[in-house]
Amino acid sequence: MSRPPPLKPIRSVGESESNFSKHSLLQPIIEEKNSRNNSFASGTHFLAEDNQRLSELSPLPWNDYFRTRTLVLPENCKGIGFRVYATGSLTELLLAQSTVSSQTDETSSLYTSHRAASSFKQPLLMLFHGGGYSALSFGLLVKYLVQKLPNPESLSVLAFDARGHGETDVENEQNLSAEQQVQDALDLLKSIFGKLDSDLPPIVLAGHSMGGAIAVRVGASGQIPTLCGLIVIDVVEGTAMASLPHMQTVLMKRPKSFSSVEKAILYSLETGQTKSRESCRLSLPSQLRWNEDEKCYSWRTNLEESECYWKSWFENLSPTFLKIAVPKLLILAGQDRLDKPLTIAQMQGQFQLSVVRDSGHNLHEDQPEGTAQIFVEFLRRHSIIN
């Protein structure tokens, strides 16, 4: 069956037709009503065919959750760039940079861009997603967060696809070491704001799973002088390190490919990977890529091959987290996930602990509104927002 031409993507700040023609990770869904391959391609999962159910699982557009998206290519990186999503006044800053980048007078462009960055004072929440996920996994959280803010100008949000994930396209994307990911985050901030100094806005780092570990290490780097908060979502060193020997088995059990995006979404919901239908429809498509040779969808990120970096993500995470001298919040799906060092530190009041019930590991997707409320209360308690 021939594949239909690619869908024209929604344009946004900083996007160009040439970028998308060269870098389209997600291709249109192929209708297969009469195909004998109406099951997960691995042959290990057979979910009942239900055309009506699948029709209700179409992907959702990013721009219902973020104000803009763009590609940012740091100075020392090669490739197309990191996919960035934003809300708040950061949108205007990215727009200004997108506008000046097309000017022919380079001196004028740099001056205008740096002037816009230096005048940006709105607190910034920078989000780091988990391994295998993408920035869109925070879509519902951001949607509810914006609704709960005292006013729309209280906070800007920056979420980005890590290298080897989502729609980010940079050289050496297989390098998912903690050191490289920390450098990527710092380079992104430097690209947007010009330099890492006291002119940066107040910055809160927040991350889930792998992203939580990277957020901690970015905070511990000492290179963000305006760091004013740290939020970690469902990652604790003790439980993470204990689970690493079993991760390859978990990954081997999941399907390697899917015949449609809807079937991948159905798989995620049926297996409980994500409990929220809306969040799954938003974030799961960005975790896939079209395999032209096999005519199917496969996972965007090859997590199996990243095993050599897993230990570097989580080792010494608890003491590193505790040493960072800013207000800290740890959000877990269950209090039993605390390891001994964090249990002692929590009893001593060294950080705030919140537990989100009726959720799994992706608690910000499973319970986005409740998680957003926890975020807002934390930010207000420490006067990061008014």
Nearest by Cα to 49 from 71, 30, 33, 67: 33
Q: How many CB atoms sit inside 10 A of residue 4's CB?
A: 11
Instruction: Say if residue 106 is exposed, middle or buried (CB neighbours under 10 Å; 0-12, 13-18, 19+).
Output: exposed
Residues facing 227 on adjacent strands: 203
The yes-or-no answer on residue 209 being catalytic is yes
> Over the range 241-270, which residues count as b (16 or more CB within 10 Å of their CB) and which as e?
beeeeebeeebeebbbbbbbbbbbbbbbbe
Residues facing 16 on adjacent strands: none
The yes-or-no answer on residue 161 being catalytic is no
The distance of Cα 305 from the centroid of its chain, to the nearest Å, equals 20
Task: Give the whole-angstrom CA distance, residue 287 versus residue 285.
Answer: 5
Task: Give the whole-angstrom CA distance, residue 110 versus residue 29.
Answer: 42
The yes-or-no answer on residue 361 being catalytic is yes
What radius of gyration, in Å, describes the C-alpha atoms of the chain?
A: 21
Catalytic residue among 169, 187, 234, 366: 234
Catalytic residue among 39, 98, 209, 286: 209
- Can you tell me whether residue 229 is helix, strand or coil? strand
Catalytic residue among 359, 361, 364, 366: 361
DSSP secondary structure code for residue 89 in this structure:
T
| Residues labelled as active-site residues | 209, 234, 361
